[in-house]
């Protein structure tokens, strides 16, 4: 396995686990973990908005890293070449 493939495999695993965590942190209708964090850190509604925006940004970044590493692994290992 080449060094590039190992790097992309590690990125794929880390970003995949991060996506799971950050998607679960998103609140559905004000009862999520992010709402509990926001209510403990901030007393106003603006704080909750800031936490949600940051969660959205981090989730989008992790999703982009996940898909880029997935595409890179598909290029490094075309179908039938692992073995």
Predicted confidence (pLDDT) per residue in 18-76, tens digit: 999 998 887 665 566 666 666 665 555 555 678 788 888 999 999 999 999 999 988 88
At residue 66, the pLDDT reads 95
Q: Where are the domains of the chain?
A: 3-76
Burial annotation 12-33 (CB, 10 A radius, 16+ → b, else e): beebbebbeebeebebeeeebe
User: CA-CA distance, 54 to 12, in Å (whole number)?
Assistant: 21
Task: Note if the pTM is more than 0.75.
Answer: no
């Amino acid at each position: 396995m080449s060094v590039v493939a190992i790097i992309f495999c590690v990125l794929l695993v880390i970003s995949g686990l991060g996506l799971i965590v950050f998607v679960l942190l998103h609140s559905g209708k004000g009862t999520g973990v992010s709402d509990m964090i926001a209510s403990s850190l901030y007393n106003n509604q603006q704080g909750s908005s800031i936490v949600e925006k940051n969660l959205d940004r981090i989730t989008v970044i992790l999703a982009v890293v996940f898909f880029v590493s997935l595409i890179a692994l598909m290029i490094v290992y075309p179908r039938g070449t692992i073995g």
